[in-house]
Amino acid sequence: MSAEELDGIVTELRREIGEGLCSLTSWERGMSCKVRASSLSDAVGLLFTKHGASMLSMHATDDRLTGGQFTLHLVLSFPAKRLLLMLSTETEGSFRSLTPLVYYANWYEREIMDMFGIEAAGHPDPRPLVLFEGWPRGAHPLRKDFHLADALPPETSPYEFRTVEGDGVFEVPVGPVHAGVIEPGHFRFSVAGEPILNLEIRLGYAHRGVEKSLESASPGKAL
């Protein structure tokens, strides 16, 4: 990617979000960009619609113990330009969902809501993704103030499966236990003959909390 192309993206970002662009650092084939939470969706919309960005990852960190807030981290790529962009923003606990703009963000945002309790406002499907039905509401494992030794009373909160109703529509549940060696997963199909009208997916049965258990581990121990 040429310096002119990189400058062009930066110029458009500044024009689009103005003071919402907090800081920018560039290197040979990429850049790190920090924006205000209120400008995140505008920045992502520009990068995807005008510059062909793709989302490689989206995750969060809890930086409150070091004087910060929650931080969202997005890793975007521009295959046609061979550019990698690290986009970040700080939030006290909510941000405007990117899923209506970029559907890749769907499960990333649902996992962030589960594990950190950060609200993706306007998300079209905010149901739990990783946490199981008996997990207490308001307990978010990757927050720094959540401790593994804490005893949590289970709750009864059945998962709200979406259903399709109509003449000739049948619901076909599959799993979560499968023959062979594949990971457990529950798939609930709504079908009308051969056509599949809707598919509900529940994964995470093999989740072991590795991220939380390694929070205080040294790199050597973690590996």
Domain at 3-160, CATH homologous superfamily: NADH:ubiquinone oxidoreductase Nqo5 subunit (3.30.460.80)
Q: Which helix (H) or strand (E) holds 188?
A: strand 186-191
Residues of the chain with pLDDT under 50: none
Beta-bridge partner residues of 182: none
Query: Residues near 198 by Cβ (< 8 Å), separated by ≥ 6?
Result: 162, 163, 164, 189, 190
pLDDT score for 3? 56
pLDDT score for 141? 93
Q: Where are the domains of the chain?
A: 3-160, 161-223
User: What is the tens place of the pLDDT at every residue in 4-15?
Assistant: 666 777 788 888
User: What is the tens place of the pLDDT at every residue in 136-173?
Assistant: 888 999 999 998 887 788 787 788 899 899 999 999 99
Place of tokens 């199981």: 132
Cα(123)–Cα(113) distance, rounded to whole angstroms? 10
Residue whose C-alpha is closest to residue 159's, from 186, 177, 141: 186
